[in-house]
Amino acid sequence: MSRIINIKGVRQIIAFLVLLTVMISNFTIVRADNYYKKGIIVIPGHIGTRLYEGSTKVWPPQAMDPYIDSNGNPTEQSLTGKYIAANLLLPGLGTLIVNRLVEKKTQEVYSSARNQFSRLEFDTNGNPKYNITTEPSVSKDGIYGTINTYGPIMTKLKQVFESTSCEVCFFPYDWRLSFEETAKKLQEFINNKGFDSVTLVAHSAGGLVAAGYLALSEDNRKKVETLFNLGTPNFGIPKPFEVMQSGNYFGNELDDIFRSQFKEFSRYTPSTYYLLPSRKYIDYVGKYMSHINKAVYPNGTSEITETTFLDFNETTEQIKKESFISANSAIGAIFDDAIRFQDSLFINGTYVLNMVDTHLIEGGSDGKTFAVSTLNFLKRKYTYKSDGHSTLLGYRTPIYDSFTTTSDCDGTIPSGSARAGGLVSNITTYKNVMHMDLPKTPEIIIQIIETIKAKSNKGYAWISGSIPSSASTGADYDSWNWVDENPKALKNRYSHQSSLYDGMHQHYFYNSSNKILPYDSQVLYCNVFIDPANPPKELMLQWNDGSWEHRAYWGEDKINFGTNGSVSRRYMGPLPKTGMWIRLEVPVQSVGLGGRTISGMAFTLYGGRVTWGEAGIMDNYTLNNAPTATSCYFDNLLTSSPISSISENSSFKVHTSFNTNPSIDLKSLKIRIYNPNSRSSGYTVLPTITYQDKYKYIGTADIDLAALRIPKGTYILDCISNYKKVNSNTIYIGYSEKISFTVN
């Protein structure tokens, strides 16, 4: 899937900011304890982490702090005579004196900045000269990254997702080091956090670090739910070689300050070599330029008579002939390690980015191209001519051409590399968004949040294999009996099973230090397996917020707790199907727990036996306030082997739920079954609504394949609904999770 999104004008940006604010307001922020299971990790790009020697910030140099704006450019007035005269000097001084004092002040700042930058240097063997540390992963000053490039995305991700079940982290790293080493540090970071699963949001070179993490092990790949690469040079870029030759890194006035230092610095810094184009760059993006023959005529005119390109191996050998590499075998070894790292991103011919759910996001300019460096590894070779006749061949002063080519890109990364040569299908292009703006653009942040929410709708598993920490337990005519067989537990975690008893019986916990704080827009859930040989007459869930007056029940009204029809005893529907795992869902508002802290839960029956699995809260979020289904599943979706094939004349039940709002078109709610390879609109069934309030409806539908006359084949099942935007003719359609199955 490839999408192109055109972003223009202040109005659109403001609109998205407003939308983002609305979006954030629908989520719960929970901080009950320090127990996390999921992680969302933002990985910055090259030079994107602040570096320190002791307490002194050496990148970006602390001396430059007053003179660099939020985009990393020198402030317009900071080092000008007008600014210094107005702020640092007495007014009325002569222009000449002011200019001289300005120059003196400027050089003092530059000298101090260069001195601080020098602490980042490596020796000629590629080893750091000084002890350098990174910024903390948890911001203490509200800044994430070199110039708070990652502040906007970190702030929004934390507001939306951070809870007892999910931690949003910033992964600062020493961007001078090899990406292989940094990938191992990322692995250590994730393991130390104890995350069961992670979502990686990587900007620029951070995407290469993420790819390196994926390449380290299959276990790492299994942990990654989603990878977002924002403007990543997936196959490298030619720019580092230009920096080695010229020292021009920034493309602005900062080059005047650091040019000579960056030239030497880049030659002995490992990450420089890891950024160079890989062999896949030649295959999918473009060639390396080797040399040109240039004819020069007496009248001063010239022409290029020959241009030669090298393949990857020839290019590698040519780079190694550079004096700063050939004279230091250690640097050559680093270059070899970088090539091996690039090759390791393909495992048995498969690109690691295609082993996980990867979303490539690139910037660019609407209809414009940018000058992107190409590689010129040889000096310019000239043919001197007189009156059009050839003379001796020779070399002029050994200088390098600054070769550039025009390319669609974000001003830094060629599109072919950002797109991984087309090997990854899920690509979104944001026009009019430059490289450093990618992690700050509201529309991109919205896309990331929307995608994460679509994949993580299960929410927070409060009870999963054990009761929450520090809880007290109790039972009435029942007991806490933990089992992993009969029935087989889900996710290889223990379940707790009720005892058999003819009347009311229950087991419960309370006063847990690990509390949850749901909002009205959420759903409480619990997985249950009802014993088919001993079904209860009534099944009840209770939640404790200091009292036990919040209940939901299924089946007969046999348990005399609370007032029926109120939050203290809310009827949710008939007893669910027996003999399979079912997920029970209870809208938070229906039991009056919105904004209330829950510290306990009771599992109550009238007769029979039930095995209780995972329980917790699910987030329900609606983009654009359109209806969005939170789930759509067969009765045995939660079994170890979900339905994948169904006989032609069978029947089954589908459960679904939708977020609602005052403008939802209730008549449009329907279960849809369609063949994705057919032009037919498919088959529809109207669900029976078992619960509805202003936030949500829950419905079920009995699907009879014979009655619908559905032939054999492969089908998609989902639930859809229309929402008509107020004061607009725009119709939004909400889609549930899609279930694929075969009728045979």
Locus of tokens 């990938």: 183
pTM metric for this prediction: 0.57
- Judge if 546 and 668 occupy the same domain: no
Residue 252 structure tokens: 């602005």
Return the beta strands (E) in 232-287 as ranges.
none
Distance CA 441, CA 361 (A): 12
Note the pLDDT of residue 602.
98
The answer to whether residue 95 is domain-embedded is: yes
- Judge if 608 and 653 occupy the same domain: no
Q: Of 168, 195, 230, which residue is a domain's last?
A: 230
Q: Give SS3 for 545.
A: coil
Q: Of 210, 230, 250, which residue is a domain's last?
A: 230
- Judge if 635 and 605 occupy the same domain: no
Note the pLDDT of residue 25.
30
Q: Of 194, 211, 230, which residue is a domain's last?
A: 230
Distance CA 635, CA 633 (A): 7
Q: Give SS3 for 69.
A: coil
Distance CA 662, CA 666 (A): 10
Q: Mutual orientation of helices 9-24 and 442-455 as an angle, nearest 10°?
A: 30
pLDDT in tens, 356-398: 989 999 887 655 544 444 554 433 444 444 444 333 333 233 3
- Judge if 569 and 686 occupy the same domain: no
The answer to whether residue 291 is domain-embedded is: no
Residue 617 structure tokens: 């809260």
- Judge if 561 and 584 occupy the same domain: yes
Q: What's the number of domains the chain is made of?
A: 3
Helices (H), 503-608: none
Helices (H), 162-238: 179-193, 206-216, 218-223
The answer to whether residue 599 is domain-embedded is: yes
Locus of tokens 């070769």: 403
Amino acid at position 237, single letter: I
Note the pLDDT of residue 498.
97
Low pLDDT (below 50) residues in the chain: 8-36, 77, 79-98, 101, 369-373, 376-406, 457-458, 621-633, 635-643, 662, 726-728
- Judge if 573 and 640 occupy the same domain: no
Distance CA 144, CA 152 (A): 9
Distance CA 255, CA 158 (A): 35
- Structural domain containing residue 715: 623-743
**624, 538 in Cβ contact below 8 A?**
no
- Judge if 541 and 659 occupy the same domain: no
- Judge if 18 and 51 occupy the same domain: yes
**373, 238 in Cβ contact below 8 A?**
yes
Angle at 61 between CA 60 and CA 62, to 5 degrees: 110
Locus of tokens 């694929």: 740
Q: Give SS3 for 182.
A: helix
The answer to whether residue 238 is domain-embedded is: no
Note the pLDDT of residue 247.
74
- Judge if 574 and 535 occupy the same domain: yes
The answer to whether residue 279 is domain-embedded is: no
Note the pLDDT of residue 296.
55
Q: What is the CATH number of the domain that holds 679?
A: 2.60.40.10
- Judge if 727 and 584 occupy the same domain: no
- H/E stretch holding 331 reads helix 329-344
Distance CA 446, CA 467 (A): 35
Q: What is the CATH number of the domain that holds 561?
A: 2.60.120.430
- Judge if 611 and 664 occupy the same domain: no
Note the pLDDT of residue 424.
87
Query: In the 8-state DSSP scheme, what is residue 355?
Result: G
Locus of tokens 């790292």: 341
Note the pLDDT of residue 630.
44
- Judge if 668 and 596 occupy the same domain: no
Distance CA 409, CA 430 (A): 11
Locus of tokens 């020779």: 394
The answer to whether residue 496 is domain-embedded is: yes
The answer to whether residue 325 is domain-embedded is: no
The answer to whether residue 402 is domain-embedded is: no
